[in-house]
Amino acid sequence: MSPSCLEEKLPRKRGATVQSARPAKRVRLTKQNLKKLERMEGFKKKKAAKRSIEEASTATGTSKEGSPFQRRKTSKEGDSETTTSTKSRDTTVSTTAPGFPDLACRNGILEPDCSNPPENLQSLQEQINRERSSPSPTRSQFDDYTSAIANAVNEATIIAETHPVLLRNYKDRGYKKTWSTNLGAFPKTVGFNNGISPAQPDMMEGLSLTQFKPFPAREELGGAAVVYQGAKSITLSHLAAEWKGPGNDMILAQAQAAYDGACLVYGRNKALTYLGTPDVPGHAHISSFTTDGTNLHIFAHFVAEEQGRTEYHQYPIARCMLIASYDDYKKGRRQLRNLQDLAKKNSEALRDELVRKWTESLGIVPAVPVNLPPPITSPAEDDTLGRNNPDENTPTNAQRPTVEPPSPT
């Protein structure tokens, strides 16, 4: 065997170069070899084109993902969210995408038409329709409201015009609202949120994480209870809300509220599992509402098992047209404030149970509480719009009853 033939037979190490005295071996002109040559030439052209694009991008200060503004570009309300990032490529469906309601339904988040009424429906309706001791808004305030809604041009304006006059602003610093907060700490793929981006309610109301001390809510319950990062994150909220601008899709707002409610129900059940005392089946303690300033819809949320499938129900418990009449406006405002009070009561009761169980597990004997009478809420605390309202007969000298301290033993 000649040396040249031997050279062709010897195996070559990867990366090594073998010097040969003779010229490169010519190949036969066959269809198979022509196809190989075409593939090699095509690969070289693609590589050269890619290199030229990268060089041009470097020269103009952009990347293949586009300019910094394009990378952060997000569609407006009603369109699918298209956010591209060099750090993450999320394939989940946004809560503003057209396919979101259908995917949520397939995941077990039921629409109101498919939801069952909660077992405590009558009790819920009685609580949100009860009369309040605080002053009602005047007719002139109603006229101002209808004018503001008629002239609103977008969702931000609707929120600005509605929440100060419809919602109660609590003086308790430990109980607060958060606006348009992404629930990024909520667990992924728990069933109902499979393939869906994290919920982002327009508003949530609840206790601050600091109000749960000494119970370590984040460590014991995780993101199901403490749904976003921060030392003062709202924890175990019982109320969420969604707004829409004039002429926008209230059906989408309803689907978003259903998703919000499912997250809050999941968090409450996580806490009840820790306590070992689940809710009575079919009873709702989580609520939400949707509004565009004209229409108001209030929902109750709970979870139930149906033939081995976990389903999150969203049942309508009240609705009204806020601008239909002065009486309708007062009714809707009263229902919302009662709903807030109910959610606050449920949040505080759950917090107290968690703290009690935690302290008992540590062997700490809580101090015997003094049974104080319930505080009397003044009009200024409950209704900033009702101050100096001549149309309402309200007490002017409401005082907290004096409580004598217990005598020493």
User: How would DSSP label each residue in 180-234?
Assistant: S---TTSPS-SSTTTTBPPP--SEEEEEEGGGGTTS-HHHHHGGGTB-S-STT-E
Report how far residue 185's alpha carbon sits from residue 198's, in angstroms, rounded to the nearest whole number. 9
Each residue of 262-280: pLDDT tens digit? 999 999 999 999 999 999 9
Amino acid 36: pLDDT:
73
Residue 11 has pLDDT above 90, yes or no: no
Each residue of 157-210: pLDDT tens digit? 999 999 999 999 999 889 999 999 999 999 998 999 999 999 999 999 999 999
Amino acid 121: pLDDT:
98
Amino acid 247: pLDDT:
85
How large is the average pLDDT for residues 121-138?
96
Residue 400 has pLDDT above 60, yes or no: no
Residue 140 has pLDDT above 80, yes or no: yes
C-alpha count within 13 angstroms, C-beta hemisphere, residue 187 = 15
Report how far residue 195's alpha carbon sits from residue 189's, in angstroms, rounded to the nearest whole number. 7
Q: Angle CA(211)–CA(216)–CA(222) in degrees, nearest 5? A: 105
Residue with more model confidence, 362 or 167: 167
Percentage of the chain exceeding pLDDT 70: 68
Contact between 264 and 208 (Cβ < 8 Å): no
Amino acid 86: pLDDT:
35
DSSP string, 80-142: PP----SS----SBPTTSTTHHHHHHHTTB--GGGPPPPTTHHHHHHHHTS--SSPPPPHHHH
Contact between 175 and 207 (Cβ < 8 Å): yes
**For the chain, what is the radius of gyration of the CA atoms?**
31
Structure tokens at 34: 């022509």
The region, left, alpha or beta by phi > 0 then psi within -120 to 50, assigned to residue 239 is beta
In which band, very low, low, confident or very high, does the pLDDT at 30 lie, cut at 50, 70 and 90? Answer: confident
Residue 10 has pLDDT above 70, yes or no: no
Each residue of 64-85: pLDDT tens digit? 344 333 333 343 344 444 443 3
Average pLDDT value over all residues in the chain:
80
Residue 303, judged by CB atoms within 10 A of its CB (0-12, 13-18, 19+), counts as: buried
Among 77-86, 123-132, 240-249, 358-367, name the one with the lowest average pLDDT: 77-86
In which band, very low, low, confident or very high, does the pLDDT at 62 lie, cut at 50, 70 and 90? Answer: very low
Residue with tokens 């109910």, as numbered in its chain: 342
> Residue 405 to residues 184, 371, 398, 401, 409: CA-CA distances in angstroms?
46, 10, 21, 13, 12
In which band, very low, low, confident or very high, does the pLDDT at 397 lie, cut at 50, 70 and 90? Answer: very low
Residue 324 has pLDDT above 70, yes or no: yes
Residue with tokens 């409610």, as numbered in its chain: 261
Structure tokens at 128: 């949100």
In which band, very low, low, confident or very high, does the pLDDT at 63 lie, cut at 50, 70 and 90? Answer: very low
Q: Which amino acid is at 356?
A: R
Residue 376 has pLDDT above 50, yes or no: no
Amino acid 248: pLDDT:
84
Amino acid 126: pLDDT:
98
Q: Are strands 234-243 and 286-291 parallel, antiparallel or unpaired?
A: parallel
Each residue of 86-121: pLDDT tens digit? 334 458 999 999 999 999 999 999 999 999 999 999
Each residue of 292-303: pLDDT tens digit? 999 999 999 999
How large is the average pLDDT for residues 367-379?
44
- Is omega for the bond preceding 214 within 30 degrees of 0, making it cis? yes
Residue 408 has pLDDT above 70, yes or no: no
DSSP string, 252-297: HHHHHHHHHHHHHHHHHHHHHHHHT-PPPTT---EEEEEE-SSEEE
